[in-house]
């Protein structure tokens, strides 16, 4: 009865691990490998294990499966009831299977350079030679299992897991120090007798280790709890430039108070799928369809989107604003293709530039729809910047170093009290009032997509 209860709760805990992350598969495979190795090496360090009746094995397996199914099926049913079943499948199963084309041989050679990769060698040496040297006990089997689990985990991680992150080592370090603690005590007992028998020396060593650990944890907590000035400034600038409901492009939803024009989160697996052409990069079309005038600067965009951003947006500190820059033209007038319609200003060295837009005189401001334009400036003062008027009214000039908060000084906060009040005003009701568009939505009202040449570079899809 006691064994049956253990099997049931073991299955339930295993389902809880899978509910946290499907990367528990790696830990489970390592446990199976460690169990197999411990059984194979068991005659060297422990007496024969007690035989278990087949009916007991069957009952324990059935109870473990029942415990696993209760929690696992409950989680799946909750997602299905919320209408998020397909999204759960995409974000868990497909997401974690996205590394099938990884070059594992190359990963293996890279793993050779990591000292954690070789931890299986001391683990095997300990189990093979040292564990049963003095006596044999059934408890040695449990020790061998834990030691082999610690040794095999980095080996399987480097050899068989598609993508490796720092979080993947979370199960490794607690078990590693658990295994190293007896070794440390054994080494302490081999010290000279006055030191090994001194309680004061032991207390001093313990205090040093405690202070090192405390300092490490404190530094981590301070970094985590301290507000990120870059993130705060970025959100503040977004709130200053955009209105509720207007979309802002960012890689992973960091600008929490504005909807995104795309559904995909541009993390590691997604970028690999874009690189391998398993996903079609239609982010430029979504930017045009949702009239996205602000984007967050990042290198986590697909190649086609990066080219579109370079040619249709101007950098401004940590953001990109709609606009383009035209360098010197010998003829005076120049033609440009506008992909994002809206109210724009023509600037030269930060000042409004008058001229003729498609033959119509303007005083530096114009409302333009997407299309091809010709502008003849009154004065040929290059380069000429064409940027979104709202950003100009906010005091921002695209491609200008003066916009950078660290230009000529240390970084300073761009979040003003008015910005914080706007954030407070819209934060609570944002999710209830704003419907975030998805990447599958059609560009309603923007007409069919056609290929039109962009005079600054290659072709782009535009309405």
Does 196 have pLDDT greater than 90? Answer: no
Q: Is there a domain that residue 195 lies in?
A: no
Query: Is residue 323 domain-shared with residue 185, that is, in the same domain?
Result: no
Q: Is there a domain that residue 101 lies in?
A: yes
Domain endpoint, select from 190, 222, 249 = 190
Domain endpoint, select from 172, 190, 208 = 190
Query: Is residue 323 domain-shared with residue 420, that is, in the same domain?
Result: yes
How many folded domains does the chain comprise? 2
Query: Is residue 158 domain-shared with residue 67, that is, in the same domain?
Result: yes
- Contact between 321 and 391 under an 8 Å Cβ cutoff? The reply is yes
Whole-angstrom Cα distance, residue 85 to residue 457?
Answer: 42
Does 177 have pLDDT greater than 70? Answer: yes
pLDDT at residue 428, rounded to an integer:
39
- With 0-12 / 13-18 / 19 or more C-beta atoms within 10 angstroms meaning exposed / middle / buried, residue 305 is buried
Query: Is residue 148 domain-shared with residue 254, that is, in the same domain?
Result: no
Q: Is there a domain that residue 202 lies in?
A: no
pLDDT at residue 148, rounded to an integer:
93
pLDDT in tens, 346-388: 998 888 999 999 999 999 999 999 999 999 888 867 888 999 9
- With 0-12 / 13-18 / 19 or more C-beta atoms within 10 angstroms meaning exposed / middle / buried, residue 439 is middle
pLDDT at residue 453, rounded to an integer:
32
Query: Is residue 166 domain-shared with residue 240, that is, in the same domain?
Result: no
Domain that holds residue 112: 2-190
Q: How far is CA 447 from CA 47, 288, 309, 370, 450, in A?
A: 78, 11, 22, 12, 9
Query: Is residue 174 domain-shared with residue 235, that is, in the same domain?
Result: no
Q: Is there a domain that residue 323 lies in?
A: yes
pLDDT in tens, 41-99: 888 777 776 777 788 888 888 999 999 999 989 999 999 999 888 888 877 777 666 55
Domain endpoint, select from 190, 214, 247 = 190
Query: Is residue 93 domain-shared with residue 237, that is, in the same domain?
Result: no
Whole-angstrom Cα distance, residue 387 to residue 340?
Answer: 11
Q: What is the mean pLDDT of residues 166-170?
A: 83
Query: Is residue 84 domain-shared with residue 175, that is, in the same domain?
Result: yes
Query: Is residue 181 domain-shared with residue 236, that is, in the same domain?
Result: no
- Contact between 386 and 346 under an 8 Å Cβ cutoff? The reply is yes
Q: What phi-psi label fits residue 334: left (phi over 0), alpha (psi between -120 and 50 degrees) or beta?
A: beta
Does 330 have pLDDT greater than 70? Answer: no
Query: Is residue 306 domain-shared with residue 186, that is, in the same domain?
Result: no
pLDDT at residue 271, rounded to an integer:
86
Q: Is there a domain that residue 438 lies in?
A: yes
What is the pLDDT of the chain when averaged over all its residues? Answer: 78
Whole-angstrom Cα distance, residue 452 to residue 463?
Answer: 9
pLDDT at residue 85, rounded to an integer:
87
Q: What is the mean pLDDT of residues 236-243?
A: 88
Q: What is the mean pLDDT of residues 129-149?
A: 84
Identify the top-confidence range among 214-228, 230-244, 284-298. 284-298
Q: Is there a domain that residue 28 lies in?
A: yes
pLDDT at residue 97, rounded to an integer:
62
């Amino acid at each position: 009865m006691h064994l049956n209860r253990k099997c049931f709760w073991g299955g339930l805990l295993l389902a809880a691990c899978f509910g946290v992350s499907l990367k528990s598969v790696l830990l489970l495979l390592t446990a199976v490998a460690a169990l197999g190795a411990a059984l194979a090496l068991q005659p060297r360090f422990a007496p024969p294990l007690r035989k278990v009746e087949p009916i007991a094995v069957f009952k324990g397996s059935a109870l473990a499966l029942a415990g696993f199914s209760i929690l696992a099926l409950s989680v799946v049913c909750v997602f299905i009831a919320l209408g998020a079943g397909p999204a759960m499948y995409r974000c868990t199963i497909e997401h974690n299977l996205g590394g099938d084309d990884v070059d594992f041989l190359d990963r293996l050679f890279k793993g050779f350079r990591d000292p954690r990769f070789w931890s299986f060698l001391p683990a095997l040496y300990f189990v093979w030679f040292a564990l049963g040297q003095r006596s044999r006990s059934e408890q040695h089997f449990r020790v061998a299992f834990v030691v082999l689990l610690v040794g095999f985990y980095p080996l399987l991680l480097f050899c068989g897991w598609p993508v490796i992150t720092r979080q993947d080592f979370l199960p490794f370090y607690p078990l590693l120090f658990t295994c190293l603690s007896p070794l440390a005590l054994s080494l302490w007992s081999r010290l000279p007798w006055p030191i090994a028998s001194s309680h004061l020396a032991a207390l001093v060593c313990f205090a040093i280790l405690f202070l090192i650990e405390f300092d490490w944890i404190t530094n981590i907590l301070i970094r985590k709890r301290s507000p990120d000035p870059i993130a705060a400034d970025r959100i503040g600038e977004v709130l200053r430039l955009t209105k509720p409901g207007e979309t802002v492009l960012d890689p992973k939803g960091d600008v929490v108070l504005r909807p995104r024009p795309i559904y995909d989160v541009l993390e590691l697996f997604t970028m690999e799928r874009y690189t391998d052409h398993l996903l079609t990069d239609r982010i430029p079309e979504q930017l045009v369809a949702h009239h996205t005038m602000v984007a967050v600067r990042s290198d986590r965009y697909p190649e086609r989107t990066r080219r579109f951003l370079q040619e249709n947006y101007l950098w401004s500190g940590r953001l990109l604003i709609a606009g383009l820059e035209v360098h010197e033209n010998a003829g005076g007038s120049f033609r440009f293709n506008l992909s994002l319609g809206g109210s724009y200003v023509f600037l030269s060295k930060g000042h409004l530039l008058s001229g003729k837009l498609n033959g119509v005189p303007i005083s530096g401001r114009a409302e333009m729809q997407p299309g091809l334009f010709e502008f003849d400036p009154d004065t040929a003062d290059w380069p000429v910047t064409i940027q979104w008027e709202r950003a100009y009214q906010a005091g921002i000039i695209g491609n200008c170093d003066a916009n950078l908060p660290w230009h000529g000084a240390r970084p300073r906060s761009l979040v003003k009290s008015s910005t914080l009040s706007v954030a407070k005003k819209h934060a609570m009701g944002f999710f209830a009032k704003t419907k975030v568009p998805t990447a599958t939505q059609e560009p309603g009202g923007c007409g069919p997509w056609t290929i039109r040449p962009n005079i600054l570079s290659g072709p782009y899809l535009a309405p």
